[in-house]
Structure 1
Amino acid sequence: MAARIDHLVTSGTFSLDGGTWDVDNNVWIVGDDEEAIVIDAAHDPAAILEALDGRALRAIVCTHAHDDHVGAAPALAAATGARVLLHPADQPLWKLTHPDHTPDGELADGQVLTIAGTDLRVLHTPGHAPGAVCLYAPDLGTVFTGDTLFQGGPGATGRSFSDFPTIVDSIREKLLTLPPATVVRTGHGDSTTIGAEAPHLEEWITRGH
């Protein structure tokens, strides 16, 4: 039986470049009744623990290291014994939030994580952040995109460590090549599909946001 996907929304703040904003984050839990992984431990470790409902947490996967996506990671790791996994290119961002704590393992493009018999393939998709990754689960027909791709366009690239041409290349090469019916589960806001977003690539480039 394939893993299932559980979803919760946690609230807090995002801070970078001297500004702070209120945000709601999607936290995705992939697994079965026995074990799971968490994608982006945002804001509230107690709420994530409650959603895990006693399941063994095998890993905390960070799609990138902005503070709203990794703030709860060390506390959740301490409570569960799970390893925190991050692409090494995001270490400088990680250190801004957790200067005294190092992730437990690295993510790499093409790496496969397996949970509850279901594979999730790591796609390195820089642009929103240098070490941003997405997780593609073909058996579940979904991709977890963090802040790389949203309903309506790419993630923001107006702050430090980000680059608009890079995120467009990442989306074009790594995401829009997935099957059109693939559900895009984002770091904030509503889900979408690859097929719904693909036709708008040139529009995004023209808009340049």
Structure 2
Amino acid sequence: MALRIDHATTSGTFSLDGQTHEVDNNAWVLGDDRECFVIDAPHDVAEIRRLVGDRAVRAVVCTHAHDDHVRKAPELADAVDAPILLHPDDMVLWNMTHPDRKPDRELADGQELEIAGSVLRVLHTPGHAPGAVCLHSPELGVVFTGDTLFAGGPGATGRSYSDFDVVVRSIRDRLLALPDATEVHPGHGGSSTIGEVRGQFDDWVARGY
């Protein structure tokens, strides 16, 4: 069966360093008619389950552990009987939201997650968060970037556990190594392509985005 991406936008809040902001998050589901991965678990379990339908969820894959991306991860994982996957470098952030529930499995750079006869490759891209990862589907020519990369620039680095120079290096070394036609599906906002990012990257760096 054909691999496909399903998408919805969910609304809620993001809190860190004593500040709370209203945010809209993308919810992404990758799979075929029988099974799927849920990428992040923002705000609304019912909306994510609507995208999933009656498919088997093989994992809830977290791009990073800021609360707007993982707040609903345990509830969703329990509802669909699926493991939560997170890079261990983001446990410091995870524990702020879920001190009494740990992820089920660790993500690692270069790991290949199999779904619907296809592969989703894990790219460790720290900077926005220490354990941030991007998820590359070579078959579909897409990369799910969480908050590492948006259509308008790198993910924010003005809060705890973030670093501008590190996220720039992650984008340059890991994401710009992908083909220009690769579609970039971020955790917030609209999509772009690696080619579009490449054309703006030097200006972002010069401005210190």
Does TM, normalized by the shorter one, top 0.5? yes
Equivalences for residues 94-173 of structure 1 within 5 A:
94-173=94-173
Counterpart residue number, 2:192: 192
**Structure 1 SS opposite 2:139:** helix
Q: TM-score, normalised by structure 2?
A: 0.98
CA distance in 1, matches of 2:118, 2:80: 21
Deviates more, 1:184-193 or 1:194-203: 194-203
Q: How many residues align?
A: 209
Structure 1 residues 133-177: Cα deviation after superposition (integer angstroms, max 9, x where no partner): 000001001000000011121000000000000000000000001
Letter aligned with residue 6 of structure 1? D
Q: How far 1:206 moved relative to its partner?
A: 1.2
CA distance in 2, matches of 1:202, 1:141: 24
Equivalences for residues 1-209 of structure 1 within 5 A:
1-209=1-209
**Structure 1 SS opposite 2:21:** strand
**Structure 2 SS opposite 1:140:** coil
CA distance in 2, matches of 1:3, 1:71: 27
Structure 1 residues 66-110: Cα deviation after superposition (integer angstroms, max 9, x where no partner): 000001100001111100000000000000000110000000000
**Structure 2 SS opposite 1:11:** strand
Q: How far 1:199 moved relative to its partner?
A: 1.9
Letter aligned with residue 108 of structure 2? A
Structure 1, gaps ≥5 residues long: none
CA RMSD across the alignment: 0.7
Q: How far 1:60 moved relative to its partner?
A: 0.2
Letter aligned with residue 97 of structure 1? T
Q: How far 1:207 moved relative to its partner?
A: 1.1
Q: TM-score, normalised by structure 1?
A: 0.98
Contact 1:2 1:139 in 2 (8 A): no
Please identify runs of 4+ aligned residues in structure 1 that moved more than 3 A: none
Q: How far 1:2 moved relative to its partner?
A: 3.9
Contact 1:2 1:140 in 2 (8 A): no
Structure 2, gaps ≥5 residues long: none
Contact 1:35 1:55 in 2 (8 A): yes
Q: How far 1:181 moved relative to its partner?
A: 0.3
**Structure 1 SS opposite 2:136:** strand
Letter aligned with residue 167 of structure 1? V
